Amino acid sequence: MNTPRVPVFIQAEELAALRSSPKLAIADLSAAPSYAMEHIPGAVHIPAARLSMARPPVMGLLPPEEEIAEVLGEAGITPDSYVIAYDAESGLNASRFLWTLDLIGHTRFSMLDGGLRAWVNAGQETTSDEPDIVATEYRAHFRDEHRADKAWITAHLGNPDMTVLDSRTAAEYHGTDRRAARGGHIPGAINIDWSLALRGGGDLRLRASDELRALFMNAGIRPEHEIVTHCHTHLRSSHAYLVLKMLGYPRLRGYPGSWSDWGNDPNTAIE
């Protein structure tokens, strides 16, 4: 049986109308003190730190499949849950979580546009009460079509069908803000700071879809290409990944490790 498609981004009022829906799982990826103080009623806290691992100096790597499965099971999420994620910060932890769901083939998910701030600004209630959770057994298996690594990108450099989207700041891209052993960018990568997708002025919600489409298209990020998103640890670029998914880009990959992997390897090509 086919399951209905859900929007990649959802508004606060839409989530409020769905809160009593069966199989809905609301995931809060905020810092623990923030969750303890205030969260959406029924939301389950998922520690963002459990969604990545580090092998210094490389950060933002994927943990084992078993760890992801354990996180989901402890949160009471099942393979047919409709997961809506948010956080109380910039939305990046929630983005990384949803990219991970896409990676394991859990496609019924949405991001709360603007996060907890948008929920509160819409006049919706919050609570400090923690919900009762019935743990489940979730089996997670990574799928290669939504991730890229250093070897895959190296093998596809110069391929006109592949585009690298660098979601870091312009200073990081040009190497004036160096956060790894080497500064610069992957050859041919196109730089669009992830935050340009937001409305700005403290509003963490997305700009209008036609504005976003123009932002990416004018920079050369085209839907007929395979797009690889990266930043420094694949947090900011997870957000860019979701925005492109919302815009209908069909072939997307995220690069866990990102520049902390590429920029700390003396053998990678850099511009």
Sign of CA dihedral 52, 58, 64, 65: positive
Neighbouring CB atoms inside 10 A of 167's CB total: 28
Q: Which helix (H) or strand (E) holds 206?
A: strand 203-206
What are the two backbone dihedrals, phi and then psi, of residue 163, each rounded to the nearest 5 degrees?
A: -130, 135
Catalytic, 231? Answer yes
> Virtual CA dihedral for 95, 99, 105, 108, nearest 10 degrees?
20
Say which of 112, 231, 243, 246 is annotated catalytic: 231
Q: Cβ(116)–Cβ(40) under 8 Å? A: yes
CB 233 within 8 A of CB 59: yes
How many residues comprise the chain? 271
**Dihedral angle sign, alpha carbons of residues 154, 188, 249, 108:** positive
Q: Is 141 exposed, middle or buried (0-12, 13-18, 19+ CB in 10 A)?
A: exposed
Indicate which residues carry an active-site annotation. Answer: 231
